[in-house]
Structure 1
Amino acid sequence: MKMPSNEEELQICVPPLFKCPISLELMTDPVSLCTGVTYDRPSIEKWFEQGNNTCPATAQLVQTQDLIPNHTLRGLIHKWCFSADSKLHTPEPLAEPATVRQMVQNIDERSSSRIDALRSVKNLANFERNRRCLKSEGALGALIRVLQQFRSEDDGDAAQEAVAAIVAFPVEEVNARKELSRAPAIRTLEWVLVKGNLESRISTASLVESLANADKSAAKEIGSIDGITDGLLSLFQQNLMCPAAVRSGLKALLPLCGVVKNRATIANTEGAVAALIELLPGADRSMAEISLAILEALSTTSEGRCSIVAHALAVPTVVRTLLVVSDNATDYGVRILLAICFNCGEEEMLREIVEMGTFEKLLVVLQMECGQRTKHYANQLLRILSALPENGSSMNAFSSTVYG
């Protein structure tokens, strides 16, 4: 029997998840299509260059040929390649101080090589060791200046490349966060969210999420720009077939809801509540929880409650999530319903909510091993619903059983 060569043996050892579905080789630059399938960038780009307009793995027609970097998978591949058990190594570009300084100069002087310099910085920034060199040589500052000095659509490509590079850097540093949270930079983020390609819009949403999570004043400043909210909402309204786009839009909206004024702005945005509600039936656990968390935040405002009540499927959809998705989702759902019933609780509406099976679900919540806060809100909601004559006896019977 012929023994496999070292090369063949290494190929067999490559985890299937790390192989490109087209080339069947180890991916070095994994990117995802709107169908959710990940390919090696050179392979899928060649596929599209040959005139194809389908996803090779699923044969689905693709709505967009935008390629979304799969940073998580790239990191796993990188870690596996450098593990003690593997002899494979993906090439890691090295940042040379002199070269980086030239890149910074090309970026600041708007030279003909500006876009190439921005792309080079973006590629280098994928590696921690390079990020230290890039920062020390002023590359991060140059990227931020691109956003601050945005003049017109002629600067659009540069802005998109700059955002894609910035998200590779931690933004915990006060100075960087402060500069990115100023109006000129935020206006540029707005432009990218509204007019950029899908990859850049996802990167921008990730940057907005980081800034808003790190600093409430930044969240307030960002949320005051209407185009930011519109852009984030459009990410999951227009790209339902791209999980990365949906998730990034939701995750960026959530920290913006930490500012009360932003909640009213989001609630008043046309189609916002409808988009969140319509996501829920097919959402996975994580996205369902984020959607409900946003809706719960909106329900604390009169604008949010009006928008929720006005949507015919909103309350029934929230009721259906109770006890189905997760304990967190149930907590958000109970609080949404409590806000609606307490503030907009006309008898007809309360009766409709009871007819959806809410009463019975709340009784189950009180008997579950869930958080005390959830039980507290469920108990309050039960008392409101039990005010209806036909439910009073049920509530009294349950109370005597549970509380004695």
Structure 2
Amino acid sequence: MGFNFMSGMRVNEKNITPVTSWSESESEIIIPPEFQCPISIDLMTDPVIISTGITYDRVSIEKWINSGNKTCPVTNTVLTTFDQIPNHAIRKMIQGWCVEKGSSLIKRIPTPRVPLMPCEVYEICRKLSSATRRGDYKKCVEIIGKIKKLGEDSERNQKCINENGVGLVLCDCFVKFSGDEKLTAMLNEILSLLTWMVPIGSEGITKLSSESSFRCVSGLLRSNEDSVRQNAAFFMKEILTLDETRVHAFAVENGVVGAFAKLIRDSVSSTATKFSLIAIYQMVLQKPEIASEFLDVGLVNLTVEMIVNAENSVCEKALAVLDAICETKKGREEVRKNALVMPLLVKKILKVSELATRSSVSVILKLSKTENVFAVEEAVCLGAFQKVFLVLQVGYGEETKAKATELLKMMNAHMKLMGDCVDSSMNFKYLKKPKSKSGRLRNFLL
């Protein structure tokens, strides 16, 4: 229980209610004006001085500045800098006053941790860069540990670290030591830090895609520790977004295919599974022949299991992977072998998301177009005609509608097999293919 004495409000842990009457055991305590924040008129808990010399509570002045204001609230002077310097003198006076009052309504404010400043981050970057160039891994381990501790202290510190170039310097450090298997712990720590510094930019990802770095990341992907595998999966996904043939050659060479399949099979986490599916999608999309590598490790059955059991975000990505696999003849043959595929594809239309619907329709279309009349008949008998027709009515994008239209025309040729599924008097010859198509499932990665 505490008091906002200037506003006559009793402050409770759960809510704030107006004071309607004063208890006889409570006496009014007036906060000295010099201890009040000019913005909130409350007792300052973390007083800071800005460039105009006025002291504010840090939370209040940061909120003021972050709202787009560029002037001092008291003097209305344009701020020459937004730096905030802790006012230790006022803070100690406030703490002393709290102790002196000795009231249950007044608690001594804790000494706040001083937030990280950009100049300190620049110095950290300089030291880490220097240690990296010298090959001084012990110093690098020390600095990396400091960065981790600073980030764990507060979200504000993390933001300051993210905005001042630490990510790129960490990438340089990773590249420098990626060939040393004895430094696996340090390299994993770097990846762990980089996960909360994304996006690190194309320059950083390009560094991680170098031959030695790629081998290191793929090695971590095969680790026995789940957290390590998840971090590695995340950056493997980022690396594989690069449209470079050599990256995919590295993937096959370094056992990445099997590692991803194992990561999915082990159900490490929903996040790790999504990272893996996105990476697989990228690999197969950019280099379709790599699909055979995934087929050999049972990817089709793994994907079908996820479509059956997984949450919508995972199901969506699993369907996209299945669609990418069906780009190849061998992929379509493997997909046809699984009796659950067609019922699941029909079921997921309009059920998960537009991307899932697009993938489902696309897979049915690919299976139906490749001299496989039975795929069309099965889809029709499962009720796909009505659901695909509805796709045209719900405002989906041009690519989704284009696929739906093409599939409807194919199914229309098998009207006699529909029985009671649809009104056989309906004629869909009027359906026309939309004029334009968007790109492939690029939004899948967002």
Deviation at 1:317, TM superposition (A): 1.3
Give the corresponding residue for 2:145: 119
Query: Aligned to 1:371, which of 392, 397, 401?
Result: 397
Query: Aligned to 1:291, which of 318, 324, 330?
Result: 318
1:3-402 equivalent positions in 2, closer than 5 A: 3=2, 12=14, 83=63, 92-93=115-116, 95=120, 101-103=126-128, 109=135, 111-112=137-138, 115-123=141-149, 127-131=158-162, 135=166, 138-147=169-178, 149-150=179-180, 152=181, 154-167=182-195, 168=197, 170-174=199-203, 176-195=204-223, 197-217=225-245, 220-221=248-249, 223-225=251-253, 227-239=255-267, 242-261=269-288, 263-265=290-292, 267-343=294-370, 345-347=372-374, 349-388=375-414, 390-391=416-417, 397-399=425-427
User: What is the CA–CA distance in structure 2 between the aligned matches of 1:223 and 1:131, rounded to whole Å?
Assistant: 29
Bigger shift: 330-339 or 367-376? 367-376
Counterpart contact for 1:273–1:307, Cα < 8 Å:
yes
Deviation at 1:138, TM superposition (A): 4.7
User: What is the CA–CA distance in structure 1 between the aligned matches of 2:61 and 2:244, rounded to whole Å?
Assistant: 39
SS of 2:201's partner is: coil
Deviation at 1:223, TM superposition (A): 4.0
Counterpart contact for 1:97–1:137, Cα < 8 Å:
no
Bigger shift: 314-323 or 225-234? 225-234
User: What is the CA–CA distance in structure 2 between the aligned matches of 1:195 and 1:262, rounded to whole Å?
Assistant: 27
RCO (CA 8 Å, sep 6+): is it higher in 1 or 2? Answer: 1
Q: From the superposition, tell whether residues 187 and 80 of structure 1 become closer, same or farther in structure 2 (CA, over 3 Å).
A: farther
Counterpart contact for 1:103–1:117, Cα < 8 Å:
yes
Counterpart contact for 1:143–1:165, Cα < 8 Å:
no
User: Where does the alignment leave 5 or more consecutive residues of structure 2 unmatched?
Assistant: 16-58, 66-108, 152-156, 432-446
More helix by share: 1
Q: Percent identity?
A: 18
TM-score of the two chains, using structure 2 as the length reference: 0.61
* CA-to-aligned-CA distance 1:145-203 (integer Å, 9 cap, x gap): 122x23x3x332122112223442544243x3333212211111110001152222222
Counterpart contact for 2:206–2:239, Cα < 8 Å:
no
Counterpart contact for 2:307–2:315, Cα < 8 Å:
yes
* CA-to-aligned-CA distance 1:349-388 (integer Å, 9 cap, x gap): 4433332222332233344433343333223223333444
User: What is the CA–CA distance in structure 2 between the aligned matches of 1:399 and 1:81, rounded to whole Å?
Assistant: 68
Select the structure of larger CA radius of gyration: 2
For the aligned residues, what is the CA RMSD?
A: 4.0
AA partner of residue 172 (structure 1): G
User: What is the CA–CA distance in structure 1 between the aligned matches of 2:360 and 2:313, rounded to whole Å?
Assistant: 14
Equivalent pairs counted in the alignment come to 331
Give the corresponding residue for 1:52: none
